[in-house]
């Protein structure tokens, strides 16, 4: 760790790298987000060597960002580590204190109670305020639903939630039905046409909102079922990629491009890809 910190000091030093010396917390923050996403994707692959490499990239940026604040006289890595150790110790009283919490459910509830106590000097702070607005949609939705549930705003059981899914699905279908029947435009109607365009845009916006409501509700289903929707979506994308690429190879083996196949042949290849276990 000392060697890594020394490397960054050299890069930022008088005879260091011009690019590294130009970086700011904002620029490094963006790179850090990208590297964390790359790390998450690599973890899905299970490649230990690649995971170690990506972890190194993330660690480098964490140290780099801390160095920027150290140069500004704000804090250093010792401050960062000390604060984190204190926080983690405080939030694990079942390990370091007298708490009797045993189950994961009890521990999660305890964690949220402790966070609330930590914020008692900031009564106006919302439980949702600390969720980064820049998170990908599914991740942010999961965090929001998790925080709301911890505050007691949640469905009583999965059955109630699934009923809500059906309700949201019906509302989306209704919105889609109305969007498929746009109000007709008459070239001779002038201002009326603008009103019609506004109504059609409103229909489209309504479909988008209903679609979002359905996705958000499905995120809650994932939470109830104890898996992360981002993980499930990534797995589904990987599965689709495997099957689609298999179809492309199958078409190439016949001497043709996949996009030139008839739809029926595409469907036949898709079925074969599924049956092959991909």
137-227 sits in which CATH class? Answer: mainly alpha
Residues 172-222: tens digit of each pLDDT:
999 998 887 655 655 555 566 677 777 878 888 999 999 999 999 999 999
pLDDT higher than 80, residue 80: yes
Q: Could you give the CA distance from residue 131 to residue 127 in angstroms, rounded to a whole number?
A: 9
pLDDT higher than 80, residue 25: yes
More confident residue, 120 or 62: 62
Q: Which fold has domain 2-90?
A: Helix Hairpins (1.10.287)
Domain layout of the chain by residue ranges:
2-90, 137-227, 233-275
Predicted pLDDT at 211:
97
Mean pLDDT score of the chain, rounded to an integer? 90
Are 2-90 and 137-227 the same fold in CATH? yes
Predicted pLDDT at 242:
94
Predicted pLDDT at 221:
98
Calculate what percentage of the chain has a pLDDT beyond 70: 93
Residues 257-270: tens digit of each pLDDT:
999 999 999 999 99
Predicted pLDDT at 33:
87
More confident residue, 253 or 105: 253
Total-model pTM: 0.67
pLDDT higher than 80, residue 19: yes
Residues 32-68: tens digit of each pLDDT:
989 998 998 899 888 999 999 999 999 999 999 999 9
Predicted pLDDT at 124:
58
């Amino acid at each position: 760790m000392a060697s890594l910190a020394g490397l960054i000091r050299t890069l930022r030093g008088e005879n260091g790298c011009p690019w590294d010396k130009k970086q700011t917390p904002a620029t490094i923050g963006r790179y850090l987000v990208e590297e964390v996403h790359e790390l998450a994707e690599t973890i899905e692959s299970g490649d230990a060597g690649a995971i170690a490499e990506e972890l190194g990239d993330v660690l480098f940026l964490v140290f780099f960002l801390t160095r920027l604040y150290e140069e500004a006289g704000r804090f250093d890595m010792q401050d960062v580590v000390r604060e984190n150790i204190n926080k983690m110790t405080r939030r694990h009283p079942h390990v370091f204190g007298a708490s009797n919490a045993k189950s994961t459910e009890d521990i999660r509830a305890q964690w949220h109670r402790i966070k609330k106590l930590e914020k008692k000097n900031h009564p106006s702070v919302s439980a949702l305020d600390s969720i980064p607005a820049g998170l990908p949609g599914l991740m942010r939705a999961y965090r929001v639903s998790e925080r709301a549930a911890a505050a007691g705003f949640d469905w009583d059981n999965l059955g109630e939630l699934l009923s809500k899914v059906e309700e949201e699905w019906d509302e989306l279908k209704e919105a889609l039905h109305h969007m498929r029947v746009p109000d007709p435009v008459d070239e001779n109607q002038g201002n009326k046409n603008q009103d019609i365009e506004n109504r059609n845009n409103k229909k489209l916006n309504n479909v988008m909102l209903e679609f979002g409501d359905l996705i958000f509700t499905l995120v809650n289903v994932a939470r109830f079922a104890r898996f992360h929707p981002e993980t499930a979506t990534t797995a589904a994308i990987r599965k689709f990629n495997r099957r689609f690429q298999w179809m492309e190879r199958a078409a190439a083996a016949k001497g043709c491009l996949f996009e030139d196949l008839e739809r029926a042949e595409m469907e036949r290849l898709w079925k074969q890809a599924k049956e092959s276990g991909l």
